[in-house]
Every structure is written in C-alpha cells, then in structure tokens.
C-alpha cells in the first residue's frame, strides 16, 4: 500500500461528524503522523477542484454531506463508495405568508409554489430537495405535485463558481463586489408573487422568524422516516474507490476519526452546538431550533437499516424526477468493510 | 456635585435589577460570567434580570428606567429620553462599540450613492404605542447623517412610515441556548416584523436603515445593495447613534443610598471588559449569543477587534457625541427638552475605582 500524499476533504455546511473533525483539528491530527497533507477542496482556488464537492471526481477525496450530489455522481458513473450514513433530523419547512390564506397542506391545492432552478449546474440539489419536501407534504393529504402550480426561480452560474473561505468556522464567499443572487423564491414569496416555498435547516427557521412567515408543515418532524428522508436524511460519508482500494488504512483512519468525534460530541453538547453554529454560519439558538436541543446526540454515522432503506427510497425519487440518469441498488454502493474494521478494532462503548 | 474625596455612605441593598440590550456590552459579559453577581453579592445584594420579569411594568423599565435600584447598559436613546422626562438617573460610564449602520436599497432601484436618495422614498419604522420609538430615531439619525455628507437633508427624501402595533416590552425575554430571545418574535402578528424591509423588497420604498449583525446578514441574504455604512465613517459625530456611545446608567437612589453597589457594578463591568480584551475568541462567541447571530456576522458587524471595543469610560469624545445626539433627539421631538449631558454624568464611581486601583498599584 503506497503512502497517501494528499487527502482532499469536503463537507457540506451542515451537521456532520467530518465537519466537526475538521474544525476541531482531529482530522489533521489523525493524519499528521503519516505525512498526509489534508486539503479542503471547497477552498481550492480552482473551480474544477471545488466542483468535486458535487461530482466527486477527485481522486483520494472524502465527502460528508447531502446525499443528492453523491447519489447523482454514482449514478453518473463516478466510482465512489459509501462508508457510513448519518441522520441528523432537521426542520424542513413549507412556508407561506400570513396573508396568503394558506393554513394547511390541503390549502396548497392549485396555489403557486416557488422552486429554485439552477440552469447551469450538473445536479440541482436545491430544486430536488424542495420538490421532495413538497411531494412528501402533499402525499400526507393524498395530493400530488401536479395539484400545485410550480413557479421556477432561475439562478445563473454554478454552486462552485466562487472560492469558499472559512472564517470563524463558517464557510463564506468573499466576493469582491460581485453580486450573487440568493433566496430568490423567498423574495418572491415576500413580494406576494407566489404562495409557498420550501426552506430547511437553521436558516429556514431564522428567516421564517425574521418575516413572521407561517409554517404550513415541517416534514422534518414527521414520525415516518420516509417522509423525513431528503438530501440531509441520511447524509452520506463517501470516498472514491481509489482511496478505498489503494489506501484502505487511510479510509479506516477517516471513519475512526469521524466516529470518535461523534462520541466526543455526545458528551459535549455546549461545545458541539458552538461548532455547529460556526459550521452553519448561524447562532447557537437557531441551531437548537433547527436541529433540536439534542443536536449533539444526532451525530452518529453507521449503517442503520432505516437509513439504507430511506436512501434507496430517495434514490428512486431522484430517478422518478429525472435528477439522475439511472436507478441503482444502494446496497451495491455501500461498502461496510471499513466501518466493520473500525468497530471491531475499537472497544465499543455502551450508549 | 458631592466632594470627590468623600466616599458617600452606603446602605445594604437587597435586590439590584439589571438590564442590557442584546448588543455588545461589558455589563452583558459581567452578567454572563457571574461577576456582577459575585461583586455585589459580596455586599449582600442579589441581582435580578429586569427583561426576564413576568411583570410588563418591570420589563418596560428597560426603556423608561422607572425601577429603583436598577442598572442599565445599552442604547442611549431610551436612557436620554427617560432623563429628559425627569427620571432621576445618572450615567456612570460610556462605551463605544462601532457597528455597521446601513442604508440599504434593492439592486434594481437605480440608487448607487447617497446623492441618488434625493427625491426617493425612505421607509421608517413607526412604533406609535411605544413611549420612546428608538428604532425610528436611530433610522432617522442614520439617514440624516448620510444625507449630510452630501449636503442634503431629510426634507430631500420622502419618508414613508411603517406602523407597528404593541410596545417593545410586550413579551418577556427568555434565555435559550445562551441567547436572550423575546417570544413576540415567534408570533404571526399582522403588523409583522421588518415591515420596512418588506416594503423595500416589494418596491414600495427605495431605501431603509438597518444596523448591526442582523443588518449585515439580511442585506446578504436578500441581495440588498449598501448605499452607505455611516457606522464606518471616520468622523465620530457621523457614527454617533443609539449605540455609539452606549450608556451605563443607574438611578439616583442607588447612587445616594447604595454607593458601594454602584461602584461594584462598574467594577464588574470593567473586569468583564478587561477579560474580553484578552479573550477574543470567547468574546466573539458571547457576542454571537447576545446578538443571536453567527460569529462570522458578529465579525462583519462589529469588526475583527470587537473584543477591544468594549471599553467603558467617560471619554471626552463620547461625551461630546452624547451631547450632539441629545440635541438631535430634541430637534426631532423625540425628547421634550434638551439638557447638558455633563449634569447627567456622575464621575464619582469611576474616580473611586481608579483611586482604589492606584492605591493597590502604589
């Protein structure tokens, strides 16, 4: 097994064990004795490298984050494997204004629903997750997406046009006078152009609060996991096959670090909430509002049957809506060897 | 003014009420670190948060300072107003933490500079039921100062009022995840929140004023264009507003009867500020909690050196600015009469502390 010179890592600005392992320095520490250089791919000055957060084309890279780009990359033929799944329930809100007259999911029938549409991206995860939230909400009342009028809010460019920087743990874009567009559907809703939108996570609750928006439904708190399943439920921890085959020890080290970080989080709610606030670029208050007072306990990477089942269901959803070119069996994508190796080598703590 | 050399008598005090704005203040850190409790606790006094009270009259004292034996560190507008109303309060310290003060417009409004505001509509909050509408006063100050830089005045723009019902103290503040949070924020009131911002997004008005970390974040989230940030202007009188300087004030009764408690308050505030100067990281986290925003937005709004901006003193420049701002509030009829802020300031507690420290050092 050859030594690994550079490990590329990337994590979405959401609660992940890998994200906290990076922020707390645990990942760098784990690889330091082996002389491996740890590099953040989203902070690269090259757009091509940054785009690997979405298409996973970079050799010797690990990614922990939303499953949509990971599912899409695998469906598109990129050779990756899932080493673990984490499930941090978060709020997933269908929002309306006070004066729209919409109160319940049933009221959405024949109303206008705003969806983001990123015209130039390889995989539009923002649109896919909004559509999932909408479809699942409607399903609860026997309605379908056909029953509402979809209004597209176009965005130019791609998600990786701008180099990311980390300031106080938050991933931000330091654009020099360039004016990027964001939250176009929200602005449309506030202007009264449409009747409802989908937003999720800490920013959703914060923005809903800022403008006194009404929550029609939070599919993220529904008892049925298939209703909650979306881009972030479950999140995928993935590596490329080269890393797995040529640097199995490095793959073990990654998973081991993620699991140890998560165990640390379970015992340190306060510090974990701060890490999450930095990761999400929000306040600790909004972290608790979006991810629960027990956000620290929701960080656990494993291969629960429930997560696998939901990942399959969600893959089928993405295929049905033409976000991915082919359907596949997620069990062929999952590689349990690394996790089994780590758990076998570690004294298991009774939780 | 009493003789500086003589330390006034001090009676035991049972309860000290405290309140601070959800902004960077030494008092806020002193409370959070338990130092206020510790310092006045040694004098047999317990502390109670006024804004967390179940009683609205007690909560309203954050704005009208009616409560005996209370201390307040925060925006100067309600403090100036209470004094102008005849309330017997004294300022024992001033702090000056510069923050962003933004005039915002939509990218498609055609407004690029302050000059372009001429003849355009400007949205102002209008809390008609509040005793003192500090939100309106601070927005007007930001607007007037911005226009002044280009030889314009407020008459050159068309003001549009956004009415809010209720008052600022209708709901108690609760502490959740270290963050002071008012329940009213969760209600779906028809009068809503951020009404002028909504008006801007809807194209009803061309510009508005917002300040602090939430201003920076909302401007970013909603693709707004910053016409000017008066909070970063080199001239202090242009930056001077509700938060610049902030007042540390107590009621006269506390000073007269419980002088040691007043000194103890200031002592714990200065201790907190010295601690902050040496703990940038912890201070930023504290400020993020206090303002309910992220550490990144705290840095954008209050600067990389936010931890160094918490110094409470009685600097000449802060006193001059406070006088200028008091005149502004009178000119716009927010207060019934102007007054000399030097009559309002009591320098004794700061002098007592300094001579005690000098004695220790000697």
List, as one string, the DSSP characters of B14-26: SEEEEEE-SS--H
pLDDT on residue A168:
76
Same domain, B284 and B318: yes
Candidates A98, A179, A273; nearest CB to B177: A273
Q: Look-up: residue for tokens 């194209």? A: B203
Within-domain flag for B235: yes
Alpha carbon distances (Å) from A151 to A111, A112, A136, A166, A184: 10, 6, 18, 34, 11
**A92-228 topology per CATH:** D-Maltodextrin-Binding Protein; domain 2 (3.40.190)
**Closest approach of B9 to chain A, Cα-based (Å):** 44
Distance CA A130, CA A120 (A): 18
pLDDT on residue B326:
98
Within-domain flag for B4: no
Distance CA A257, CA B361 (A): 50
Looking at the DSSP bridge assignments, the partners of residue B164 are B127
Candidates B193, B222, B288; nearest CB to A283: B288
pLDDT on residue B192:
61
Which part of chain A is CATH 3.40.190.10?
6-87+231-345, 92-228
pLDDT on residue B61:
84
CA angle A213, A214, A215 (to 5 degrees): 120
Contact B176 A288 (CB under 8 A): yes
pLDDT on residue A227:
98
Within-domain flag for B114: yes
pLDDT on residue A207:
95
Same domain, B199 and B296: no
Query: Which of A186, A279, A284 is the mutation pick for testing B, counting most B CBs within 10 A?
Result: A284
Q: Which residues does chain A have within 8 Å of residue B185's beta carbon, measured at their own beta carbons?
A: 209
Query: In this complex, is the C-beta atom of A96 within 8 Å of any C-beta atom belonging to chain B?
Result: no
Looking from the CA of B272 toward its CB, the CA atoms found within 13 Å total: 29
Q: Which residues does chain B have within 8 Å of residue A183's beta carbon, measured at their own beta carbons?
A: 221-223
Same domain, B75 and B134: no
pLDDT in tens, A87-119: 999 999 999 999 999 999 999 999 999 999 998
Query: In this complex, is the C-beta atom of B12 within 8 Å of any C-beta atom belonging to chain A?
Result: no
pLDDT on residue B2:
45
Of B239, B272, B287, which marks where a domain is finished?
A: B239
Candidates A99, A187, A285; nearest CB to B176: A285
Token pair belonging to B360: 């220790």
* Residue from A6, A58, A2, A51 nearest A28 by CA: A6
User: Helices B280-291 and B295-302 sit at what angle, rounded to 10 degrees?
Assistant: 100
Residues in chain B: 362
- Give the predicted TM-score (pTM) of the model: 0.90
Same domain, B79 and B113: no
pLDDT on residue A282:
95
Contact B221 A203 (CB under 8 A): yes
Contact A283 B186 (CB under 8 A): no
Distance CA B358, CA B362 (A): 6
pLDDT in tens, A116-146: 999 899 999 999 999 999 999 999 999 999 9
Q: Which residues does chain A have within 8 Å of residue B288's beta carbon, measured at their own beta carbons?
A: 277, 283-284
Distance CA A111, CA A194 (A): 8
Within-domain flag for B2: no
Q: Residue A9 has what DSSP assignment?
A: E
> Domain residues for B339?
15-96+245-361
**Closest approach of A184 to chain B, Cα-based (Å):** 8
pLDDT on residue A53:
87
Looking from the CA of A192 toward its CB, the CA atoms found within 13 Å total: 9
Work out the average pLDDT over A179-207.
Answer: 93
Right CATH for A6-87+231-345 from 2.60.120.1130, 3.40.605.10, 3.40.190.10, 3.40.50.300: 3.40.190.10
Same domain, B38 and B112: no
Of B239, B256, B271, which marks where a domain is finished?
A: B239
pLDDT in tens, B94-140: 999 999 999 999 999 999 999 999 999 999 999 999 999 999 999 99
Q: Which of residues 226-245 of A touch B (CB under 8 A)?
A: none
Nearest CA in chain B to A281: B294
A157 pLDDT above the threshold of 60: yes
Same domain, B165 and B59: no
Q: What is the CATH number of the domain that holds B122?
A: 3.40.190.10
Within-domain flag for B177: no
Candidates B188, B285, B297; nearest CB to A98: B188
pLDDT on residue B82:
95
pLDDT on residue B176:
67
More confident residue, A21 or A57: A21
Q: Residue A222 has what DSSP assignment?
A: -
Same domain, B233 and B258: no
Contact A98 B187 (CB under 8 A): no
* Residue from A174, A91, A176, A206 nearest B214 by CA: A206
Binned average pLDDT, 10 residues per bin, chain B of 362 residues: 60 94 90 95 94 86 89 96 96 97 97 98 95 96 98 98 87 70 48 85 97 95 96 98 97 96 97 96 92 94 94 97 98 97 98 89 70
Count structural domains, chain B. Answer: 2
pLDDT on residue B7:
67
ipTM of the complex: 0.88
Instruction: Determine whether B148 is exposed, middle or buried from the number of CB atoms within 10 Å of its CB (0-12, 13-18, 19+).
Output: middle
Confidence band for A181, pLDDT divided at 50, 70 and 90? confident
Same domain, B206 and B251: no
Helices within chain A (DSSP H only)? 17-23, 26-31, 47-50, 52-55, 67-75, 125-139, 184-191, 201-210, 225-228, 241-246, 248-267, 269-280, 284-291, 305-320, 330-333, 337-345
Alpha carbon distances (Å) from B353 to B250, B252, B298, B317, B346: 16, 18, 31, 21, 13
CB A10 within 8 A of CB A53: yes
Q: Which residues does chain B have within 8 Å of residue A209's beta carbon, measured at their own beta carbons?
A: 185-186, 193
Within-domain flag for B272: yes
CB B44 within 8 A of CB B58: no
Give the dihedral of Cα atoms A292, A297, A298, A302; nearest 10 deg. -170
Contact B296 A170 (CB under 8 A): yes
Same domain, B108 and B65: no
Same domain, B106 and B211: yes
Q: Please list, residue by residue across B222-234, b when 16 or more beta carbons sit within 10 angstroms of its beta carbon and e when fewer do.
A: bbbbebbbbbebe
Among the ranges A5-14, A168-177, A256-265, B173-182, which has the highest mean pLDDT value? A256-265
**Closest approach of A254 to chain B, Cα-based (Å):** 28
User: Could you report how far apart the first and last alpha carbons of chain A are, in Å?
Assistant: 35
Same domain, B118 and B220: yes
Candidates A172, A190, A273; nearest CB to B198: A190
Work out the average pLDDT over A179-203.
Answer: 93
pLDDT in tens, A58-91: 999 999 999 999 999 999 999 999 999 999 999 9
Within-domain flag for B250: yes
A345 pLDDT above the threshold of 90: no
* Residue from A84, A36, A53 nearest A300 by CA: A84
pLDDT on residue B187:
42
Greatest CA separation for chain A = 64
3-state secondary structure of A167: strand
A-B C-beta contacts closer than 8 Å: 96
pLDDT on residue B80:
97
* Residue from B360, B355, B351, B338 nearest B92 by CA: B351
pLDDT on residue A172:
78
**Closest approach of A268 to chain B, Cα-based (Å):** 14
Query: In this complex, is the C-beta atom of A173 within 8 Å of any C-beta atom belonging to chain B?
Result: no
Contact A212 B296 (CB under 8 A): no
Residue B107 neighbours by CB under 8 Å, 6+ apart = A179, B223, B224, B225
Within-domain flag for B10: no
Same domain, B218 and B128: yes
Q: Which of residues 275-334 of A touch B (CB under 8 A)?
A: 277-278, 280-288, 293
């Amino acid at each position: 097994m050859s030594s690994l010179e550079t490990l590329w890592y990337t994590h979405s600005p959401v609660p992940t064990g890998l994200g906290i392992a990076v922020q707390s320095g645990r990942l760098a520490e784990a690889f330091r004795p082996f002389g491996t250089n740890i590099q953040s791919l989203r902070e690269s000055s090259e757009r091509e490298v940054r785009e690997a957060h979405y298409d996973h084309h970079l050799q010797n890279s690990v990614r922990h984050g939303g499953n949509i780009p990971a599912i899409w990359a695998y469906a598109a033929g990129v050779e990756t494997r899932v080493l673990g799944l984490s499930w941090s329930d978060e709020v997933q809100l269908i929002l309306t204004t006070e004066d729209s007259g919409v109160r319940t999911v049933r009221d959405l029938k024949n109303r206008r629903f705003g969806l983001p549409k990123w015209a130039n991206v390889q995989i539009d995860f923002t649109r896919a997750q909004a559509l999932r939230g909408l479809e699942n909400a409607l399903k609860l009342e026997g309605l379908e997406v056909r029953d509402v009028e979809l209004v597209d809010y176009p965005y130019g460019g791609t998600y990786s046009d701008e180099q990311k920087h980390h300031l106080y743990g938050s991933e931000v874009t330091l654009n020099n006078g360039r004016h990027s567009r964001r939250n176009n559907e929200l602005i449309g809703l506030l202007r009264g152009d449409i009747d409802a939108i989908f937003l999720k996570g800490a920013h959703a609750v914060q923005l809903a609060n800022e403008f006194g928006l009404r929550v029609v439904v939070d599919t993220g708190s529904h008892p049925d996991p298939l209703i909650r399943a979306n881009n972030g439920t479950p999140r995928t921890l993935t590596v490329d096959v080269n890393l797995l085959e040529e640097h199995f020890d490095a793959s073990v080290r990654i998973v081991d670090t993620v699991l140890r970080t998560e165990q640390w989080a379970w015992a340190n709610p306060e510090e974990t909430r701060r890490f999450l606030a930095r990761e999400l670029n929000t306040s600790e208050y909004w972290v608790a509002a979006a991810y629960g007072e027990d956000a620290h306990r929701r960080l656990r990477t494993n291969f629960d049957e429930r997560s696998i089942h939901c990942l399959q269901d969600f893959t089928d959803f993405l295929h049905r809506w033409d976000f991915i070119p082919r359907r596949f069996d997620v069990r062929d994508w999952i590689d349990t060897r690394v996790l089994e190796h780590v758990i076998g080598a570690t004294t298991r703590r009774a939780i | 003014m009493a003789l500086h050399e003589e330390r006034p008598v001090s009676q035991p005090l049972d309860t000290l009420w405290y309140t601070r704005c959800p902004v960077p203040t030494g008092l806020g850190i002193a409370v959070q670190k338990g130092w206020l409790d510790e310092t006045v606790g040694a004098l047999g006094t317990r502390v109670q948060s006024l804004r967390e009270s179940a009683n609205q009259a007690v909560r309203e004292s954050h704005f009208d300072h009616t409560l005996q034996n209370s201390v307040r560190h925060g925006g100067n507008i309600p403090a100036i107003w209470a004094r102008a109303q005849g309330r017997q309060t004294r300022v024992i310290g001033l702090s000056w933490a510069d923050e962003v003060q933004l005039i915002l417009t939509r990218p498609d409004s055609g407004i690029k500079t302050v000059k372009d505001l001429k003849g355009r509509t400007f949205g102002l909050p209008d809390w008609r039921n509040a005793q003192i509408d500090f939100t309106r006063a601070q927005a007007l100050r930001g607007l007037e100062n911005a226009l002044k830089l280009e030889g314009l005045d407020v008459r050159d723009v068309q003001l549009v009022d956004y009415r809010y019902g209720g008052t600022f103290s209708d709901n108690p503040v609760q502490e959740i995840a270290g963050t002071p949070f008012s329940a009213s924020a969760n209600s779906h009131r028809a009068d809503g929140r951020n009404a002028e911002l909504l008006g801007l997004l809807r194209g009803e008005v061309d510009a508005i004023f917002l300040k602090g970390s939430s201003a920076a974040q909302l401007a970013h989230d909603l693709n707004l264009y910053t016409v000017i940030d008066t909070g970063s202007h080199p001239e202090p009188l242009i930056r001077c507003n509700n938060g610049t300087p902030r007042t540390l004030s107590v009621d006269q009764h506390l000073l007269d009867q419980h002088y040691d408690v007043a000194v103890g308050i200031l002592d714990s505030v200065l201790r907190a500020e010295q601690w902050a100067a040496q703990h940038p990281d912890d201070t930023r986290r504290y400020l993020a909690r206090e303002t309910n925003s992220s550490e990144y937005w705290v840095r954008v709004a209050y600067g990389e050196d936010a931890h160094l901006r918490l110094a409470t003193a009685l600097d000449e420049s802060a006193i001059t600015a406070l006088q200028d701002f008091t005149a502004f509030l009178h000119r716009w009829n927010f207060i019934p009469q102007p007054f000399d802020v030097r009559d309002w300031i009591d320098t004794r507690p700061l002098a007592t502390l300094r001579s005690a420290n000098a004695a220790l050092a000697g």
